[in-house]
Structure 1
Amino acid sequence: MEGMGHMGGATTIEWRDGMVTSRDGTDIAFLSDGRGPGLVVIPGNNRRAHHYGSLARRLSSTYTVHVIERRGRGHSGPQGPAYSMEAEVDDALAVMRHTGSDLVFGHSYGGLVALHLGLRRQVTALMAYEPGVSIDGSFDARWLSSFSRLLEEGKHVAAMTTFLKHTRLAPIGDAPTAVFRGLAFLLLQGAEGRDARAMMPTTPAEIGEIVRLDSDGSRYAAVTSPALLIGGQKSPTYLTGVLSHLARTMPDARHVILPGLDHNAPDLNAPDMVAEQIRTFIEAQLDGRQGR
């Protein structure tokens, strides 16, 4: 659930490759860097693991960062016909078990995965940046059928234009459609553009899960792990507006809105600021454990 495409997102970093098998037999790849307690990062929609290189690099002196290559991407297996949020959680749990990690950060759709992981098990620290949560219909996905049709017709630029215009994730406000079309065209060029085209077919199922999981939010009261919910002041209100609701509902959660940041802060615009939020929150939880 990110701005489709990613210009210059990769970072020079000495990744270590890993692979696990999820509960349904799907291979799930992940990239690792750093040393210290294990922190699993769950990417957003239309994102690859390497897009979080800048974030990982800023955390790697303190933590061993493991970024999941979510199913349907890279060397990981396909989404599969029985795709669901439960499968995404299975994948993340498999990486956590394999790496001995007990810290989780999710971005956007990956933040929704992190919250549902929190429904399955307790973790030392659970962090999410603008999780793709829909509460009482807050996430408007009426554009999805048009997007899916255009994608099936091979009209990638038109499909991406629809996505960008209706999700408002690109920081260009309510620009004319022609502006979104120009941005979509640019984002589909070069190596990053090929990557984006390859990932676009994963979007309908993932947005479909956001819609399926729409609720009054009360289910998240069962997420009892210490949790930090982060939003950007420049992001659409349908993403940031649910954070206070979630923080009130979850028994050990707080939320923060960071000035000047937008939806792409963790992977593109401000990984240093997001990394500092992550580090500070984790340290507080680890210090609290030692003090008990």
Structure 2
Amino acid sequence: MQVTSEVTVGSATSADGTVISYRSIGSGPGLLVIPGSPGMAADFDAFAAAVADRFTVHVIERRGRGASGPQGDSYSVETECADIEAVRTATASRFVFGHSFGGFLTLESALRDSGFEKVVVYEPGVSIDGSIPFGWADECRRLVDAGKRAEAFLSFIQGVNPETSGKAPRWLLRIIIPLAIKKPERLRKYALLETVIREHALSSAQDGDFPKYSRITSPVLLMAGKDVKTTGPGRAAPRLHETLAGSELRLFPKLDHFGPEKDPAGIGATVAAFCLGAADTH
């Protein structure tokens, strides 16, 4: 099989007329990838390349980012699911993989009988017993309005991870963040903070609604890293596994919330094994 090794960019028009961009690479059955918040499509280039010999990978640029249109005044879970459906239709994707908030949207899309044959999520941003907190949002918005985006980003990462980064003193995070995240990526994340606030409002508002996902009819693979007891998204996968009859659960004890970016080959092998029935040799 000849593999398309260069990324191409396409677009689809969502139900409300918003243009949604996506990045494609590879050959084989279509795999649609849904990034989280504040992620962008290019963050999954390494993952897409890792599975490009088995899938034609299409990574959606969710609304409010890059070449895609704005979130809009009527932004909702429905608009996000309509975007996913538009790209699924345009690419004829058979499988879907969602990360974090993108995992939440993936499950919401699957709940609407999206037509995906198999569904994979890594630490989905589903709020269970308050696991997606939103109390940080007012302070974050105030700091953004004051032009203090670096401080607003700290409020975000402390607020959404109260049991991990939330316990670190702010002065220490001011040192760590520039070392851990390169400046171009930091600036992209800072620019997306208004978008991020609106996205977290959606998942937080549905706290406790997760039993509804038991109605998903497609086979589901749930994945999580080492923080299955210390973070909301980490705990979500095992809880959802208990709820979704017939679902599969795979844990990666050496990875954190950003496992798909840090170990694209390993996560990719697991996704391929589930979707295609291939041997997972990683």
Question: TM-score, normalising length from structure 1?
Answer: 0.87
The Cα shift of 1:175 comes to 2.6
* Alpha-carbon contact 2:150-2:190 (below 8 Å) kept: no
Residue-by-residue CA offset, 1:181-201 (whole Å, 9 max, x unaligned):
223455786432332222222
1:14 partnered with 2:6: yes
Matches within 5 A, 1:135-214: 135-168=128-161, 174-185=167-178, 190-214=183-207
Q: CA deviation at 1:221?
A: 1.1
Amino acid at match of 2:38: N
Query: Does structure 1 conserve the Cα–Cα contact (< 8 Å) formed by 2:234 and 2:257?
Result: no
Correspondence for 2:34: 42
**What is residue 238 of structure 2 aligned with on the other side?**
244
Q: Give distance in 2, aligned partners of 1:15 and 1:34.
A: 8
3-state DSSP of counterpart to 2:39: coil
1:261 paired to 2:255:
yes
**CA deviation after TM superposition for structure 1 residue 172, in Å:** 6.2
CA distance in 2, matches of 1:100, 1:92: 11
Instruction: Give the % identical residues.
Output: 37
Which amino acid in 2 is paired with 1:35? S
The one-letter code sitting in structure 2 at the alignment partner of 1:230 is M
Report the count of equivalent residues. 272
Aligned residue for 1:18, secondary structure, equals: strand
Counterpart contact for 1:37–1:64, Cα < 8 Å: yes
CA drift at 1:245 = 2.0
Task: Name which of structure 1's ranges 244-253 and 148-157 shifts more when overlaid on structure 2.
Answer: 244-253
State the SS of the aligned residue for 2:135: coil
Give the Cα–Cα distance (whole angstroms) in 1 for the partners of residues 6 and 166 of structure 2.
Answer: 37
Name whichever of 109-118 and 134-143 sits farther off. Answer: 134-143
Deviation at 1:135, TM superposition (A): 1.7
Q: Which runs of 5+ in 1 are unaligned?
A: 1-12, 286-292
C-alpha displacement of 1:43: 0.4
With 70-79 and 234-243 compared, the bigger mean Cα shift is at 234-243
Give the equivalent residue in structure 2 for 1:30: 22
Query: Is 1:115 equivalent to 2:144 in the alignment?
Result: no
How far residue 173 of structure 1 moved from its aligned partner, in angstroms, is 7.8
Query: 1:98-113 counterparts in 2 under 5 A?
Result: 98-113=90-105
What displacement does 1:165 show? 2.0
Distance 1:97 1:120, change over 3 A: same
Residue type matched to 1:265 in 2? G
What is the distance in 2 between the residues matched to 1:259 and 1:179?
26
In structure 1, give the amino acid aligned to 2:265: D
Shift of 1:260: 0.8
- Please give the secondary structure, in 1, of the residue aligned with 2:167: coil
Between 102-111 and 194-203, report the one with greater CA deviation: 194-203
* Residues 200-225 of structure 1, C-alpha deviations (whole Å, 9 max, x = no match): 22111001001111124221111121
Q: Per the alignment, do residues 183 and 160 of structure 1 end up closer, same or farther by CA in structure 2, a change over 3 Å counting?
A: farther
Mapped partners of 1:208, 1:276: distance in 2? 33
Superposed CA deviations along residues 95-125 of structure 1, whole A, max 9, x for unmatched, are: 0100111100000000001000111114211
* Matches of 2:47 and 2:77, distance apart in 1: 24
Gaps in structure 2 of 5+ consecutive residues: none
Shift of 1:26: 0.3
Distance verdict in 2 for CA 1:216–1:93, change over 3 Å: closer
**1:170 CA drift (Å):** 11
Aligned-residue Cα RMSD (Å) equals 2.1
SS at match of 1:97: helix
Once the two structures are superposed, what CA deviation does each residue of 1:130-158 show, in whole Å capped at 9, x if it has no partner? 00001232222211211121112211111
Q: Distance in 2 between matches of 1:94 and 1:102?
A: 13
Contact 1:157–1:184 (CA<8 Å) still a contact in 2?
Answer: no
